[in-house]
Chain A
Amino acid sequence: MAGTTATEREGTSRRGGTLYRGDLGMWSWVAHRITGVLTFFFLFAHVLDTALVRVSPDAYDKVIETYKNPVVNLFEVGLVGAVLYHALNGIRVMLVDFWSKGTQYQRPMLWAILGIWVAVMIPGTYFMMVRTVTDLLGGGH
């Protein structure tokens, strides 16, 4: 399991074919792409909605209300999770590029950033959702 080269791993080719099923590093790269593209599209919408402060306080407040909707609130947790992964994996990529032992430790570094991700997302999700959940359960003041 500690092997770092994909070619040495068993089961990397399916049914004797040559399809590259990838190593863990490939999936970290795929996830980096997806989270990056998603964040870029969100940023486009986010700058437009913030620009409404230039129209009127009312227009801005109305649009910001949608961010407080329970479903959108859940998307925000997803967004924070995507950005956090992209940030942590970006640090890992930089360590692989610039640290002499980076390539040697790329795999343990991936497990490390996933551990940090979980450790941050658990309290993060709580604080992002606590208001929405208490409101939904009728516990509002």
Chain B
Amino acid sequence: MSDLVLDKPRSPRRPAARRGNFELYSWLFMRISGVALVVLVLGHLFIMNILDGGVHRINFGFVAGRWASPFWQFWDLLMLWLAQIHGGNGLRTVINDYARKDATRFWLKVLLFTSMVLVIGLGTYVIFTFDPNITD
């Protein structure tokens, strides 16, 4: 009986009022991945398009030479995942902004999500299973 009884400082919680922090994490992810992509993508564009003859020196042998190094494999893998999720999340925002009907919004997001899974899956598969002696 001598227990100190305090009223709750605020009225009872209303769990329905908060729907989680997804949009906050999405916003934060865009900035964190953005910083990484500035280095990864601008580095990629500089090496592939500008340095040492640019695109004219790129062929199968060039790719084989680069992916012989785990460093560039990891670079490309990280760039693929971050760019797809960063870009996919950006397009999600664009769809939310411009789709007028709920059905349009839903199906555009299904299409977007499918393309993201396809591109990330295919790209990851290619990086991990690349075979420089594929014709032998």
Contact = CB atoms under 8 A, between A and B. Distances in A.
A137 B94 CA distance: 43
A44 B35 CA distance: 21
A64 B9 CA distance: 66
Interface in B78-136: 80, 83-84, 87-88, 90-91, 94, 115, 119, 122-123, 125-126, 129-131, 134-135
Contacts of B87: 36, 39-40, 43
Chain B interface mostly helix, strand, loop or mixed?
helix
Contacts of A97: 31
Interface residues of A, number: 37
Interface in B42-84: 42, 45, 49-51, 53-56, 58-61, 63-64, 80, 83-84
Given A43-B83, A61-B59, A131 B54 contact: yes
A80 B49 contact: yes
Contacts of A127: 49-51, 54
Contact of B119 (A47, A60, A94): A47
A37 B94 contact: yes
The 7 closest A-B pairs by CB, nearest first: A57-B60, A40-B87, A127-B50, A47-B123, A90-B34, A87-B38, A47-B119
